[in-house]
């Protein structure tokens, strides 16, 4: 019977260690993301009281550079409207309710 050698050590760590982000890059991306969300939240807070009466629980997609938004009951239809109107610009999807959350936490 042949003995199997166990000199193989398991590899640990990331699959692509050369692609790991530096802490400065992670902090920069996090700050950009938070600034973007803050700009969208300001627009959402300004329009939600008007729209929540007639369109409760509808999806709203906000593009903060222009301050424009699109709304629909269906998430996929709202996404398609946003793609047609805004193209590839970054945007944020929220829901017209008290918190703006789109799902359960």
Do the domain assignments include residue 11?
no
β-bridge mates for residue 102, sequence order:
none
* Overall number of domains in the chain: 1
Tell me what the pLDDT averaged over the chain comes to: 86
Dihedrals φ, ψ of 40, to 5°?
Answer: -70, -40
pTM: 0.74
Supply the range of the domain harboring residue 91: 23-95
pLDDT at 97: 84
Do the domain assignments include residue 16?
no
- The rounded distance, in Å, linking the Cα atoms of 44 and 49 is 9
5 — pLDDT class (breaks 50, 70, 90): low
pLDDT tens digits along 65-103: 999 999 999 999 999 999 999 988 899 999 988 877 776
Do the domain assignments include residue 103?
no
The yes-or-no verdict on residue 105 having pLDDT over 60 is no
């Amino acid at each position: 019977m042949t003995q199997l050698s166990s000199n193989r050590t398991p590899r640990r760590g990331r699959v692509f260690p050369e692609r790991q982000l530096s802490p400065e890059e992670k902090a920069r991306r996090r700050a950009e993301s938070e600034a973007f969300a803050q700009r969208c939240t300001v627009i959402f807070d300004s329009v939600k009281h008007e729209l929540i009466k007639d369109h409760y629980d509808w999806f709203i997609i906000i593009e903060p550079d222009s301050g424009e938004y699109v709304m629909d009951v269906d998430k996929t239809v709202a996404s398609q409207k946003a793609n047609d109107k805004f193209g590839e610009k970054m945007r944020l999807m929220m829901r017209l309710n008290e918190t703006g959350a789109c799902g359960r936490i």
